Amino acid sequence: MSSAILSIGLDIGFRRDSSAVAAVYRDTDDHICLRAHRIWEPPVRIPDVTEYVLRLFAEEQVSGLWYDPHQFASEAQRMAEAGWGRYLNEVNQSGPFMIEIATNLHILMQRGMLDLYADSVCRQHFSQCGIKATEQGPRIIKTAQTRQIDFVVAYAMAVYGCSSAPALPTQATFSEDEHVVQLEMLV
């Protein structure tokens, strides 16, 4: 297990779209670094994606998972029932959140605060996306409908989680054995 605390972004598609998971952490220089990722090509088996996310939860310290519940609702419910509910952050990809993550990603890129490892598929996803200026703010879009940008969306959600949410340890910080004292011991 690494000492880095991961924020995970998840973009789900299954019929004609790929799915992607991106896990990032903040390093000692305050840069946000890609720690792990995975991309599934269609048709995607959603339980395979969930299995990968649960493996990250089991093997790493995780502060949260940011995902759109549209395609992941039943899997998120199963994760919550298994005790992971406090780490699940539902985000609506059709609302203002997408403007927030696009703005956040753009600012951190301009400041040189993002570190990605070399991966040709990730690079391809970045090359196939663009930014559309709207009245509300910038949005991440596909340059063509047949293009895949799911890694970029998952990465932007993970970066948002890492840059805006406080780092929360996944290990218990309260131990009854260590922190509970009998009243008789205080007098």
Is pLDDT of 174 > 50?
Answer: no
Contacts of 72 (CB under 8 A, 6+ apart): 10, 12, 46
Note the pTM of the prediction, 2 decimals: 0.86
Asked whether the CA dihedral 107, 19, 71, 127 is positive or negative, the reply is positive
DSSP state of 85: G
pLDDT in tens, 4-43: 999 999 999 867 889 999 999 999 999 999 999 999 999 9
Strand order through the sheet with 19-26: 88-90, 61-67, 5-11, 19-26, 32-40, 114-115
Using pLDDT thresholds of 50, 70 and 90, give the confidence band for residue 103: very high
pLDDT of residue 181: 54
pLDDT of residue 177: 57
Arithmetic mean of pLDDT, 68-93: 94
pLDDT of residue 180: 55
Omega before residue 43 within 30° of 0, cis: yes
Tell me the domains of the chain and their CATH numbers.
5-167 (3.30.420.240)
pLDDT of residue 171: 43
pLDDT of residue 183: 58
Arithmetic mean of pLDDT, 153-182: 68
**Range list of H helices, 60-170:** 69-79, 96-110, 120-127, 150-164
Using pLDDT thresholds of 50, 70 and 90, give the confidence band for residue 100: very high
Are 104 and 156 contacting, i.e. CB atoms less than 8 angstroms apart? yes
